[in-house]
Amino acid sequence: MRAADKTLRRPGQLIAAGLVPEDRRAELAAVAARYAVAVTPDMAEVIDPADPGDPIARQFIPSRAELDRRAEELADPIGDDAHSPVAGIVHRYPDRVLLKPIDICAVYCRFCFRRETVGQGRALSRAELSAAFDYIRAHREIWEVILTGGDPLMLSPRRLVAVVSALATMEHVKIIRVHTRVPIAEPARVTAALVRALKAAGKATYVVLHANHPRELTAKARAACARFIDAGVPMLSQSVLLRGVNDDAAVLGELLRTLVECRVKPYYLHHGDLAPGTAHWRTEIAEGRALMRTLRGRLSGLCQPTYVLDIPGGHGKSPIGPDYLHVRGENGSACCEIEDFNGRRHRYPPQPGER
């Protein structure tokens, strides 16, 4: 039996696996009736049920707090719908689009910004996929297509080949980017056939791994990443800043270093989106900025992601990291001071005698 067949999806399965106590059955059932639940055997192995604050469990095991929705939270927190001209396409930026061929994931992150739509077992129909390709084909400004969802690596290699082959016929599309949790959640899916399915002549393929805690990068997950990288597919990472998971400089630093050791370049650190029922994971922006300041200069530049906020309403991502440039004066009398990683300021250009 495949590992995927043993994925834990119901409260009784989570309880039987020893991941949660019996007295939480009603709580789990209430959340599972609202949002999709899935914990793969690989993720279940990493969870420490004896630790009530386990950072892996916190990401994947349902919590009653998910049913507490705040006024500022939105069903579509980053405005996908406002930029979706046809089913499966989100065209927010001029030179790139999201293509969402499937809404299924190997695991369902409890803080997911698409939690209102993922997990319904739906893939684009043949007609919808054809219309999505027609849209990309007609918009020659599109340089990059980002496969997301859901998790595109839940598609079979055969179906991935069909998607990538269609994109390969479009001369103006140069980059294919894949956003995924699969190498962590179900590393056995990353077979040689799946890796081959993502490659197309004349196109550069990148895989972006979603990882939030260093314990997610098990030996099997590292081997799955290596299968991509050794085949010539570069990997980046994106993480979400989550209270009780990685909102600590030591933990976040270990995650970023571990990713780089795996030859995965940290790309984005996302501030938590305003998805329904996710307030208990969200940090304050000031906390994120302080964390990034702590890491600057103390970790290699290879380990530095860009801290970003996806502006609600579909206005795109903006960097919100700490500032190091300070301008004094105005117009012709203005001068700059640059702050180093120790917090000391230095005038630029330096005046005679200043160094």
State both tokens at 180.
Answer: 């995924």
Q: Which of 54, 76, 103, 273 is catalytic?
A: 273
Tens-place pLDDT, residues 207-224: 999 999 999 999 999 999
Mean pLDDT (the chain, rounded) = 95
Average pLDDT over residues 264-270: 98
Q: Is 267 a catalytic residue?
A: no
- What's the one-letter identity of residue 193? A
What is the pLDDT confidence band of residue 4, given thresholds at 50, 70 and 90?
Answer: very low
State mean pLDDT over 306-311.
98
Annotated catalytic residue, options 34, 93, 159, 220: 93
d(CA 319, CA 303): 16
Q: Is 199 a catalytic residue?
A: no
The stretch 25-37 carries a mean pLDDT of 97
pLDDT band at 292 (very low <50, low <70, confident <90, very high): very high
Q: What's the CA gap between 280 and 149, in Å, rounded? A: 24
Residue whose entry in the numeric block shows the structure tokens 């020893």: 18
Q: Which of 24, 58, 114, 265 is catalytic?
A: 114
Inform me whether the pLDDT recorded for 298 exceeds 90. Answer: yes
143's tokens: 């340089």
What's the pLDDT at 143?
98
Residues 115 and 119: their CA atoms lie apart, in Å, by 8
* Catalytic residue list contains 177: no
Output the pTM of the full model.
0.94
- Measured in degrees and rounded to the nearest 5, phi and psi for residue 40 equal -75, 160
In this predicted structure, the answer to whether residue 351 has a pLDDT above a threshold of 90 is: no
User: Smallest Cα–Cα separation from 2: which of 38, 39, 40?
Assistant: 40
- The whole-number average pLDDT for the span 310-325 is 96
Say what the pLDDT of residue 352 is. Answer: 77
The single residue listed with the structure tokens 């209270």 is: 243
What pLDDT band is residue 2 in, cutting at 50, 70 and 90?
A: very low
| CA–CA dist 337, 345 (Å, integer) | 6
Q: What is the pLDDT of residue 349?
A: 86
58, 76, 103, 105: the active-site residue: 105
**Catalytic one among 24, 76, 109, 115?**
109
Q: Residue 261 has which token pair?
A: 């050791």
Q: Distance between CA atoms of 57 and 44, rounded to whole angstroms?
A: 8
Q: 189: exposed, middle or buried (C-beta count within 10 Å: 0-12, 13-18, 19+)?
A: buried
Least confident of 17-26, 50-59, 316-325, 326-335: 326-335
Q: What is the pLDDT of residue 331?
A: 64
317 is an active site residue: yes
3-state secondary structure of 221: helix
Nearest CA to 152 among 110, 124, 112? 124
In 3D space, the residue among 177, 176, 255 whose CA is nearest the CA of residue 221 turns out to be: 255
Please confirm, yes or no, whether 355 is among the known catalytic residues: no
Known catalytic membership, residue 108: no
* 3-class secondary-structure state, position 336: strand
Q: How confident is the model at residue 3 (pLDDT cuts 50, 70, 90)?
A: very low
Burial of residue 121 (CB within 10 Å: 0-12, 13-18, 19+) is exposed
Q: What is the pLDDT of residues 245-265, one digit of tens each?
A: 999 999 999 999 999 999 999
All domains in the chain, ordered by first residue:
3-67 (no CATH), 81-319 (3.20.20.70), 323-355 (no CATH)
Tens of pLDDT along 222-243?
999 999 999 999 999 999 999 9
Point out the catalytic residue in the list 96, 159, 203, 289: 96
Name, in order, each residue with C-beta under 8 angstroms of 161's C-beta and a sequence gap of 6 or more.
Answer: 197
The answer to whether 35 is a known catalytic residue is: no
Q: Name residue, tokens 């956003």.
A: 179
Question: For this structure, is 112 an active site residue?
Answer: yes
Q: Do 149 and 113 meet the contact criterion of CB atoms below 8 Å apart?
A: no
